[in-house]
Structure 1
Amino acid sequence: MRGEGIVNSSLDLIGNTPLVNLGKITEENNLKCTLRTRRTDVATVGKVEAFSAGGSVKDRIALRMILEAEKEGRLIRGVSTIIEPTSGNTGIGLCLAAARLGYKVIITLPEKMSLEKERMMTALGARIIRTPTDAPSESADSNIGVARRLVHEIENAVMLDQYSNINNALAHEKGTAVEIIRDIQATRGENAIADVLFAGVGTGGTITGLARGLRKHNKSQNAKNDYKDGLLVVGVDPVGSSLALPASLNRIEDGQSASYAIEGIGYDFIPAGLDRNEVDYWIKTSDDESFDCAHQLIRSEGLLIGGSAGSCLAGALKYLRTTEEGRKISQDPSKTVVLIFADSIRNYITKDWILN
């Protein structure tokens, strides 16, 4: 926990992010899913990853992937170069850890990603290579394709590959989930659980790891609800992405765009690290819905979050309003609902959705 003395380095500031009561959002949207606790009334809560050292949920996986690769002998400090394709947040986390641990970093970044992310990584010492946003993931011109080529061309280069690296999900199963359980129990009591999880989905590590970690805990507590191992998991996927199930959800309807401005979630392929069997229900969200909800979080709760947090809230509200189970949850004071807010407004200050 922070506030218990001098920390050893910036790496000790990764994770341990707050679980914040979304009281105004709950009130404004007429939600009753509120914890009646011995200490306080805690409404639907958000895990605010903007408070991590690098400003996002991806700090966690970046550090774990590096440390595990060192244990395996794949990375050597002062010798190896880390090359990684990213939409930005994993890159920032890698650059932050690499600056402290002594690695060179090359990041391949699609053009649509914010200038703020590029400048952050450049400030941390990385070389940034921009790639076409519309290049298919399997293309040699995509950020993944360029990274793979560079690994073969540059001596002592290593691609940690967040898309398939098991430490992506493990960082959340062993870390983020433990924090969520700890903070809920500190408020509600030692037998408390999270009943419902909403998370945006990109590489899949966050939702996969959290689902596994929270379900293990809920199962051990003999959770008294009707969900798989005591937890309902809802994945939020942008319109234009191909991650949701059933596949028919990913169809582009008349008037919809196949591209999306939201950063950090959604892909045109299924990452190996995403276990879709852990997701019980999928919700699609549009850019407009996502940015509207991001503004609502910023202006109502004073949380300086990024656009994908707006997607998560938009997906949660849509599920709670439009599905039979969601409507039950929204009016059930006993339910604990957790939303993952993946990053910070800091990465998007010059983006149109903030300015307008």
Structure 2
Amino acid sequence: MNIDNAMKYAKNILETIGNTPLVKINKLTEDCNATILAKVETFNPGNSVKDRMAVKMIEDAEADGRLQPGGTIIEGTSGNTGMGLALGAIIKGYKLVCVISDKQSKEKIDILRAVGAEVIVCPTNVEPSDPRSYYSVSKRLAEETPNAWYVNQYDNPSNSLAHYEQTGPEIWEQTEGKITHFVVGVGTGGTISGVGKYLKEKNPNIKIWGIDTYGSVFKKYHETGEFDENEIYPYITEGIGEDILPKNVDFSIIDGFTKVTDKDAAVYTRKLAKEEGIFVGNSAGAAIKGLLQLKEHFTKDDVVVVLFHDSGSRYVAKMFNDDWMRERGFLDVEVTKAEDLIENHISQPLVTLKTEELVSHAIERMKKYKISQIPVEDVNGFVGSVNESDLLMAYISDRKMSDLPVKEVMGAPFPIVAKDTPVAKLSKLITRENDAVLVDLGNDTYHIITKHDIISAI
């Protein structure tokens, strides 16, 4: 007997790509009339939908000679395509260089290095044509490296073809052709264009919806045909949205876009984990929130499929970290009183000055602690305050003032409030003339509330 014929196993890890499950979403979509099903792509071996197109792009490049034996694969990636390429490179014997932007999570960079990729990190906030951008750097490296192949997932037709051949047919078969809407985040455009093309060929009435983010050009371009550079600005959400128009985005297939904020994407990423038990990434949070924004388009007989791109393991230090969320004002915490405003920095000691300390000490303390205002005290308590604007103006008018005692330049003391003071009342105490308020926490302990604290809580 041939033992191989009797056992069922994959000959290598690449053969486990695809056939990911379709999972019903329940709690988060209670207000939706339709049946909502998630295509959970984290079940791929590289934990993302990008495994499909990464291997397809490699195999097509091998077939037509663009990728030669022993060659080097070079690609600009947000992390997930890099992981798929890494799996292909390992099995097929290639080197891999991934060029990634610095807004991507540390986990993505660490994972790529763990699977043998060389990772080059580039700045996010530069134009695509800037020589420092990850688009430009990846192209330059491909030109300079012998026997190299530049993948270019944005314009590589094998990207969308992978989803036309694999993801689309899977969804059609899993829903027995009952799917009425497909909702997915749009980055390179390969997933929405490939899946959308297949589904519309099966049933032209199926609606294809793209999820975009603020800071990206897709939605307006689809609706008006205008590429508006004023729409381009930095955003936090990873994996979706672009400041370019990739060739893989087939706008004729897409019925519409909805934009999701960075905060909503992050909040709903966490909700998926806590309320559905689905531990997926940032773009999945954007996708489910975008779906909820589209719910008026669905009826009780509709079957809506939303695709979740990648795993939550890529975002443990970001969306799944309370401190990271709190710093950006993304935690849905009710802020009603003074002590709520200082919750995230209450453990830090209050920085103060004594009346007889020099102005130069005040300047140094502001630089050291990166603060803009400091209360001044003497043996009897708080008697004044200094802020960076007043110090700067005074220093410009008289350079010798740095040797003066603080009491010579200080302003009025900050108002002191109880820790249960309502935020609305407290906010009125912070004016153009008064930068901060001190909170009495009891036991002769005080903390400071600034304009920044109030803005962060809005």
One-letter code aligned to 1:280: D
Q: How does 1:1-356 map to 2 (within 5 A)?
A: 5-27=8-30, 30-33=31-34, 43-77=35-69, 79-185=70-176, 192-218=177-203, 229-244=204-219, 245-247=222-224, 258-321=233-296, 326=297, 329=298, 332-352=299-319, 354-355=321-322, 356=325
How far did residue 246 of structure 1 move?
A: 2.2
Contact 1:239 1:252 in 2 (8 A): no
Question: In 2, Cα distance between the equivalents of 1:53 and 1:135?
Answer: 33
CA deviation profile, 1:183-226 (whole Å, cap 9, x unmatched): 112xxxxxx331101110000001000110111122xxxxxxxx
CA change 1:269–1:80 in 2 (3 A) is same
Question: In 2, Cα distance between the equivalents of 1:264 and 1:149?
Answer: 23
> Over aligned residue pairs, what C-alpha RMSD do you find?
1.9
Contact 1:104 1:126 in 2 (8 A): yes
How far did residue 119 of structure 1 move?
A: 1.0
SS of the counterpart of 1:278? coil
SS of the counterpart of 2:28? helix
One-letter code aligned to 1:346: S
Contact 2:29 2:292 in 1 (8 A): no
Question: In 1, Cα distance between the equivalents of 2:138 and 2:17?
Answer: 26
Instruction: Give the structure 2 partner of residue 36 of structure 1.
Output: none
Contact 2:75 2:98 in 1 (8 A): yes
How far did residue 8 of structure 1 move?
A: 1.2
Contact 1:249 1:284 in 2 (8 A): no
Instruction: Give the structure 2 partner of residue 38 of structure 1.
Output: none
Contact 2:73 2:148 in 1 (8 A): yes
CA deviation profile, 1:281-339 (whole Å, cap 9, x unmatched): 11011011111211121111100100100111111111114xxxx1xx1xx22111010
SS of the counterpart of 1:271? coil
One-letter code aligned to 2:289: A
Question: In 2, Cα distance between the equivalents of 1:74 and 1:167?
Answer: 13
CA deviation profile, 1:55-109 (whole Å, cap 9, x unmatched): 11100000000011111111123x2100000111101110111111100000100
Question: In 2, Cα distance between the equivalents of 1:25 and 1:52?
Answer: 24
Question: In 1, Cα distance between the equivalents of 2:77 and 2:306?
Answer: 23
How far did residue 25 of structure 1 move?
A: 2.2
Question: In 1, Cα distance between the equivalents of 2:39 and 2:226?
Answer: 27
Question: In 1, Cα distance between the equivalents of 2:250 and 2:172?
Answer: 22
CA change 1:303–1:250 in 2 (3 A) is farther
Instruction: Give the structure 2 partner of residue 225 of structure 1.
Output: none
Question: In 2, Cα distance between the equivalents of 1:306 and 1:249?
Answer: 30
CA deviation profile, 1:170-193 (whole Å, cap 9, x unmatched): 1111100111111112xxxxxx33
Contact 2:42 2:309 in 1 (8 A): yes
Q: How many pairs align?
A: 315
Contact 1:109 1:128 in 2 (8 A): yes
Question: In 2, Cα distance between the equivalents of 1:114 and 1:158?
Answer: 26
How far did residue 9 of structure 1 move?
A: 1.0
Question: In 2, Cα distance between the equivalents of 1:250 and 1:239?
Answer: 14
Contact 2:266 2:319 in 1 (8 A): no
Question: In 2, Cα distance between the equivalents of 1:257 and 1:71?
Answer: 38
One-letter code aligned to 1:144: Y
CA deviation profile, 1:9-64 (whole Å, cap 9, x unmatched): 1101112111111122222xx2221xxxxxxxxx3100001111101110000000
Question: In 2, Cα distance between the equivalents of 1:159 and 1:250?
Answer: 26
Q: 5+ residue gaps in structure 1?
A: 34-42, 186-191, 219-228
Question: How does the TM-score come out when normalised to structure 1?
Answer: 0.85
Contact 1:45 1:339 in 2 (8 A): yes
Question: In 2, Cα distance between the equivalents of 1:104 and 1:182?
Answer: 36
Instruction: Give the structure 2 partner of residue 224 of structure 1.
Output: none
One-letter code aligned to 1:235: G
Question: In 2, Cα distance between the equivalents of 1:166 and 1:209?
Answer: 10
Question: In 2, Cα distance between the equivalents of 1:53 and 1:350?
Answer: 22
How far did residue 250 of structure 1 move?
A: 8.7
One-letter code aligned to 1:15: G
Question: In 2, Cα distance between the equivalents of 1:100 and 1:159?
Answer: 19
Question: In 2, Cα distance between the equivalents of 1:290 and 1:130?
Answer: 24
